[in-house]
Structure 1
Amino acid sequence: MSTSEDLPEVGENQVLAPVEGEQEAVVDPAEKKAQRVSKEKRELIDSLASGDFTTQRARVAYILNMYPSARNSDIVLALKYWAEFQPAFFNPEGIKPEHLFELEHVPLLVRARAKIQNEYELFQADGKVRRRRRGLEGEMREAVLEDAAPRQTLQVFADETGKTEAHLIVGAVWVLNGRAVFDVTQAINTWKASSTFAKRELHFARFGKGDIDAIADYLTVIEANREYLSFKLIAVRRENLRRSIEDAVQRLHEFMLLKGLEHEVSSGRVGLPRDVTVTLDEEQSLDQIALEGMKQRIHVGLQNRHGDTLTLESIVAVSSKNSALVQLADVVAGSANRRLNFTGARNHKDEIADLVIGRLGIELDSDERDADLDATVMFRI
């Protein structure tokens, strides 16, 4: 029989939690909270990288990320939030009284902002503001009179394919500003909700014969939002490699980004300065060490070419199920893979690949050589 002498001593800030069997373990509430905050922070970062704005917290984080002045002013935060995410109810010239009930309430936005800044330590306000938030009257006057400009961003969503085929391929969707990430994602998700893909991911490998009409409709949505989109692919014949597949994948991602940025800047589609973020499918073969190595090498490459005017902000791997644009990168890469690597009898997959390549205007005949990979092919619109 147990006595009080057999029981573990419980500290003032500790509680007992059951574990497997009859024993009980001591859980530190502070450690439990730290784990929860770390998990929520990671999920929020992944949401921004994925272009997933389904939660209010992600939408608030998006505004704080794109509009640095919103980090200091809750009024700027509210105005930009309403303008970006509730344009049907927000009019900067004057808001109708009935629309006030539709707009997200300021206290809720402030609560989300405080959690993001104070608990997650993201998108921090200036030092003075953190010590003492400005008076609301001053904030309102400044927010209304000044139209805060967003940061200039470029977001790349990339996927790889063909690791066991003749050609190793990396395909990417380039979104030339932050607002377009939201607009394109919203347009795809709206279409998807009433399509045969309502409960399915768009993955080229899983397309069936009955999906052709739906994919044609999907491409119509993409075409309607083409103004701020660019598609790039880079490939290498595996027989020419003198390195591991994992290393080759890293280098293809790096070359695609560096060469692609040169193309976008030289063509005038992307002005400087610009912050670049890269989002990859977490199912691919690159681990955190590989991602960090890629980030360092790309940073050096951009510094050598553009100094501080073109910076790589992050490389993040996310689940494709939460990112409509990672799924689009999969469709583009999968179509190129089908065209370059498949040698059997034609079927519905070839029809879909032809449809994607044709509708998106992707050229598969541009050839560039690079000594480091022996033979690379860069495909771009």
Structure 2
Amino acid sequence: MQIYKVGGAVRDRLLGKPVTDIDWVVVGATTEEMLAKGFRPVGADFPVFLHPKSGEEYALARTERKSGRGYGGFTFHASPEVTLEEDLIRRDLTINAMAEDDQLNLTDPYHGQRDLEDRILRHVSPAFAEDPLRVLRVARFAARYAELGFKVAPETLDLMRQLSDSGELEALTPERSWKEISRALMENQPQVFIQVLRDCGALKVLMPEVDALFGVPQPEIHHPEIDSGIHTLSVLEQAALHRQPLTVRWACLLHDLGKGLTPQEEWPRHIAHEHKGLKLIKAVNERFKAPKDCQELALLVGQYHTHGHRALELKASTLLELLQSFDVYRRPQRFEEFIVACEMDARGRKGLEQRSYPQADYLRGAADVARGVAVQPLLEKGFKGPELGEALKRERLKALKAYKESASS
């Protein structure tokens, strides 16, 4: 029995990056031998075990063969005869197909270390094209390591293009797709993930609503970058630069989908794109079964982001309606995420990345004013039920009018 550290742990150590998750592969062992040493089995499809003390995953060396469509369409073979090289060849990228023993001796049959040095994301073998999930994984690695100068090898991009054209991407489950998408959006350069998907034709398969934004112009006076797709990538880039949470990044990706529906004869204006985009945002949300908080914020940002930009001009009554829509009294965090999504939208424009956004503090102040209206005096006056709600609304409107006047004076 020989045990090797494999995959990401080896890759990140060689890159000088912190090693978090460690995967181990065991060569020359049987299931019975693992159980006898106290390992606990967890793999349903192939032999994976948890170490009796550390809890880390140890997998028996295995080969795999394509047997159906999608990510799960494989049969696996694990036995003591499977070599380390045979196990490594089934992996996606050369930089993930290296192993090292406890003496840090490197096994690198597919030249992963060379590709690390050359900053290349390259597939290990033609079997790469058997697993559609790898299109998303490679795009995610491109986003993760873009700051180090990594690029996808042209021949790997060709294979990704073949997968995108094959219909295999449609076989991915929403859960597997969302896992990769959400992880990619939380990388330092998530816009690279979207760009790589577009480069290989996967974006028009997975998110045609986002793909449709590229080539659609916007008024240059507001959008020096002009192209709606480029703007979306820039907004996502700003969200990452400002370390926004997943909810905000997802909303930033989807906020302008309605612009893809504007007839060409109306370009570069996009009248009512906020409302038109809601059905598209809902469709993308449902396609990937995004978490509820991501779904809700994406829809709200899509509908109201131009309200955010025009906050200083809004009538007090419109401002109150906006606050009510977000339920700022019970869900203050959601409104804060809306505000920062609007700010990322404002900054995601060529040459305007450092612009100030006074609307943010103005909206925060308005929310504080509305929340500050006390209920108790109204109860003491005898208001209750629907009448109490109306009285509270009147008092909040009065407070917002005063806030607006003081802010403009």
Q: Is the shorter-chain TM-score for this pair beyond 0.5, marking a shared fold?
A: no
TM-score relative to the length of structure 2: 0.25
Considering only CA atoms, is the larger Rg found in Structure 1 or Structure 2? 2
Specify which structure has the higher proportion of strand: 1
TM-score relative to the length of structure 1: 0.26
